[in-house]
Amino acid sequence: MRDMLPLLKKTDFPALKRARMHTLQVNLGYLCNQTCFHCHVNAGPNRKELMDEANINLLIQLMEVSGIKTLDLTGGAPEMNPHFRKLVLAARKLKINVIDRCNLTILNEEGYEWLADFLADNQVEVAASLPCYLEDNVDSQRGNGVFQSSITGIKKLNALGYAEEGSKLTLNLVYNPQGISLPPSQEELEAAYKKELLARYDIHFNELFTITNQPIARFGSTLVSKGLFNEYMTLLKDNFQQANMKGVMCRTLISIDWQGYVYDCDFNQMLGLHAPIEGEEKLHIAQLIAQEELAQTLGYGLAGQPIAIMDHCYACTAGQGSSCGGAL
């Protein structure tokens, strides 16, 4: 897979600084039961990188002293990390909201029969990738049979109360466009998803998040091999919206990789762009915990700190904007 860093390094993207941090996003490893075309972490069944228990324990210490409000778990398939349950239980004990970025098909895999009930019992918010409500489109992007397995996964969650009116169990779906295009209107697409999925499969969800594909990792390499990289970058830059700068997720989030190192976002993590916090070249969570006034460091103390930027940042600010929580 092509190294995208040299193509993104020279940038005229505006400087960004942090606001107060409230979300801790953790990549628990690159192991996944799927291999998706748009995956920005190049995850798959043969990846071996998984966060170990020592770093899980450090994350728990970090949550105990930092005052974060949300723990956002991603991968790969984060549930395939053997310490997934331990981390979720620790966060919920601290009354921290937990988001599981679930690919839905993992709910049907042998050995994961416990997963749906565990998520519901602990009121874990599920953010699930479903790039279309049409079977052919999903399977072409994510592999044969993925769509039907995803529908089965949603039905399992709905049966447990997810997305039910008045329920505390939240199920949000995530859309990525195919090819070199920006996502359509999130509001209009959400209405279409709800109408079609209810009519075709009698399933429900809360919100739809639209996320712009990043020109990195597997998707970026494909753009280069097809001679479309420059065209895609022109699209992103031509649709830059200054107003989106205030809402980009890196201003209120820190991202932790499977080895415990700190980044400004999951995309920077995949490019090896460490967060330039307090001038540190490569900051580990153990160093954060060791700091004397951690709550201030992770909260108000981060405000004003610079964020590492390159040309891929245009993907988050183009058009209606893009973040892990959808359009800005």
Backbone phi, psi, residue 145, to 5°: 85, -10
Using one digit for the tens of pLDDT, what is the confidence trace for 13-48? 999 999 988 999 999 999 998 766 556 666 778 888
94, 64 Cβ separation under 8 angstroms? yes
Report the pLDDT value the prediction gives residue 289, as an integer from 0 to 100. Answer: 82
- What's the whole-model pTM score? 0.93
Report the pLDDT value the prediction gives residue 55, as an integer from 0 to 100. Answer: 98
Contacts of 234 (CB under 8 A, 6+ apart): none
23: left (phi over 0), alpha (psi -120 to 50) or beta: beta
Distance CA(211)–CA(151), nearest Å, equals 20
Using one digit for the tens of pLDDT, what is the confidence trace for 280-326? 678 899 988 876 456 566 666 678 889 999 999 999 999 999 998 99
Distance CA(200)–CA(253), nearest Å, equals 37
Report the pLDDT value the prediction gives residue 294, as an integer from 0 to 100. Answer: 61
Backbone phi, psi, residue 199, to 5°: -70, -40
Neighbouring-strand partners of residue 26: 73, 256
Report the pLDDT value the prediction gives residue 172, as an integer from 0 to 100. Answer: 98
Low-confidence ranges of the chain (pLDDT < 70): 1, 35-42, 141-143, 279-280, 291-301
